Amino acid sequence: MGLSAPPPHPPGGARVLPLPPRVPRAGHHPLTRWMGLTALRLGGWRMVGALPDVPKAVLIGAPHSTNWDGIWGFSAKAAMDLDLTVLGKHSLFRVPLLGAMLRAFGVIPVDRSAARGVVEQAAGRVIDAERLWIGLAPEGTRRRVERWKPGFWKIARAAGVPVVPAYFHYPDKVIGIGPPFELTDDMEADLARIREWYRPWQGKYHGTP
């Protein structure tokens, strides 16, 4: 039996959400923050919800259906001054200039063929850090999928941190931040619960089945 759908969006909203005190900050130059804010303004995007005041978390973004998700996501990240370490496909780093730009935005390459090692290394980073948010797309691809990759759950569970859900809702041009999910020992139940929460949100080309 599915959960009842949440309201279209939380009340209020702003171009950029404020960062709570314990959330890691990147310390971007004011020009970088202005560029991120300007990109959101020109694109007509706004943000809703609130970031939880926690020093460590795994942030997930969905539905992921276009490369534009990365543009709007990184614009919001820069405008908020959020220090978010993003896990990206290692193939994106084969072009030197693109790789340098991705690293400048906090993206680190991961080889999905070695998923077990990636989970262990990412969880270790979180455990050892004083403050660290890691972000990734649970679908693992821009195509519509019936099953999410469980890496984000494994990282968060191993590190003992919550999962913070972020969504792209293209019909209203909204980037939303939902309440954090505290995980249990039941991975399949947790994944089903999180996917159900995402069901109302629509990406550029698809939603969450």
3-state secondary structure of 149: coil
Q: Which domains does the chain have, with CATH numbers?
A: 30-198 (3.40.50)
For the stretch 153-204, pLDDT in tens is 999 999 999 999 999 999 999 999 999 999 999 999 999 999 999 999 999 9
Determine the pLDDT at residue 59.
97
Percent of the residues in the chain that have a pLDDT greater than 70, as a whole number:
89
Determine the pLDDT at residue 81.
96
Matching residue, tokens 């990406």 = 203
For the stretch 100-126, pLDDT in tens is 777 776 777 776 665 557 888 889 889
Instruction: Kindly provide the residue ranges of all beta strands, DSSP E only, lying in the chain, ordered along the sequence.
Output: 46-49, 56-62, 84-89, 107-110, 132-136, 163-169, 174-177
Model confidence band, residue 11 (pLDDT cutoffs 50, 70, 90): low
For the stretch 37-61, pLDDT in tens is 999 999 999 999 999 999 999 999 9
Determine the pLDDT at residue 121.
82
For the stretch 119-146, pLDDT in tens is 888 898 899 999 999 998 999 888 888 8
Determine the pLDDT at residue 3.
38
> Which of 69-73, 94-98, 185-189, 194-198 has the lowest average pLDDT?
94-98
67: alpha, beta or left, given left = phi > 0 and alpha = psi -120 to 50? alpha
Matching residue, tokens 């909203």 = 13
